[in-house]
Amino acid sequence: MDRADTIINKNTDYLHEVLENNSVRSVLAKIYRRIKRTEGDCNIWKNSCFAEFKDLYSEDSQNSFDSFLNRTELYPTETELREEDKKILNLDEEEEEPGDEGDESKEKEEDDEDNIYKINYDTTRYESIKEIFKGVRSRERTPKLNEFQKQLYVLKNKKYRRDNLKEEYNIDFLKINSKPLLHNLDEVINSYINQYSNFLFNNTDTLLKNIKKFIDRITDGIKVKPTESDKNTLYSVLKCIRDMNKVNYLVNCYKPTMKESIQILKKYDYDIDDNYLENIETTYIDWNRLNQDINKTENENVGLKKKEGNQIMERSKEFKIRLTKFKQN
């Protein structure tokens, strides 16, 4: 408002006088105190609602999950895996097969590229076990299932508390719309939950599919009846029997683990087929039936196997005799 008491400068106003007025200064002080108080109330609201989620949005969910895998006690441990493999594969008792030495470097390269165990055994020794665990990340590092359950429990509780947060808040003269922030928080929490849930499901599903493929391969492999003259078929059948014996113990051990994984996922509302547990049971019924067929096939071919073994021993003796004569000459 232009001043009326001067004609020198029409652009002057009464601001200086207003600011020095005690009543005006009192009102400005009240406004300032109210703004500061409201700012403090907003900070209190923010901390009470979102401080507990800080650990989620301050770190990437993938990095957090990788840290969980690396810091959690592994099961089975590397040492347990080694001892288990030696037991299953009879590494301390088996002799070297002919041809292993020539293929050593090639097998080592394959082992480095796709070694689920992280153990430097020849790939030919446990390729059937690798077939079962191909693509199953838990074979490298498997935190115990109760560790996964603890993490999912914590995350689901956070999700529950987030769901109880209001989208609008009135703080003094402010009306706060927290909907965009809550939407972003939903995405963050879900990304964490999915890291743990997907890991469990993908491992279980991959393992189950691999077992089914293995059952189909062995079932087809032992359908053919070998004869004494058809050594290729005999060796193919014997390889199926060997492979089944190699993985039988491990596959049976993983049944309760797979079932528990699915039960945990169901408990925490993971979107999964209602018949999945039944699918596991059906697969293991087929597995037990295959075990019976393997035992039957092994008994049927015990004579051919023994005769072929004797022939191999004879050829080995003849080779040693020729080798001795060669060295003497």
pLDDT at res. 17:
72
Q: What's the rounded Cα separation, in Å, for the pair 265 and 232?
A: 46
Q: Assign 3-state DSSP to the chain and report helix, strand, coil percentages, each to 5.
A: 75, 5, 25
pLDDT at res. 153:
93
Helix axes 231-267, 276-300, angle to 10 degrees: 160
Task: Answer yes or no: are the C-beta atoms of 269 and 202 closer than 8 Å.
Answer: no
Residue written as token pair 């191909």: 134
pLDDT at res. 278:
95
Burial level of 148, CB count in 10 A (0-12/13-18/19+)? buried
Number of alpha carbons in the 13 Å side-chain half-sphere of residue 131? 19
Cα separation values, 144 from 77, 166, 235, 261, Å: 11, 37, 40, 10
Q: What's the rounded Cα separation, in Å, for the pair 89 and 249?
A: 11
Contacting residues for 12 by C-beta, under 8 A, at least 6 apart: 2, 3, 6
pLDDT at res. 191:
92
Tokens of 115: 């070694």
Q: What's the rounded Cα separation, in Å, for the pair 323 and 329?
A: 10
Q: What's the rounded Cα separation, in Å, for the pair 31 and 29?
A: 5
Classify the C-alpha dihedral 275-281-286-287 as positive or negative. Answer: positive
Which residues does the chain have with pLDDT short of 50?
Answer: 91-102, 104-125
For residue 168, the SS3 value is: strand
Q: What's the rounded Cα separation, in Å, for the pair 55 and 136?
A: 29
Q: What's the rounded Cα separation, in Å, for the pair 112 and 104?
A: 12
Task: Answer yes or no: are the C-beta atoms of 301 and 234 closer than 8 Å.
Answer: yes
pLDDT at res. 112:
40
The model's pTM is 0.67
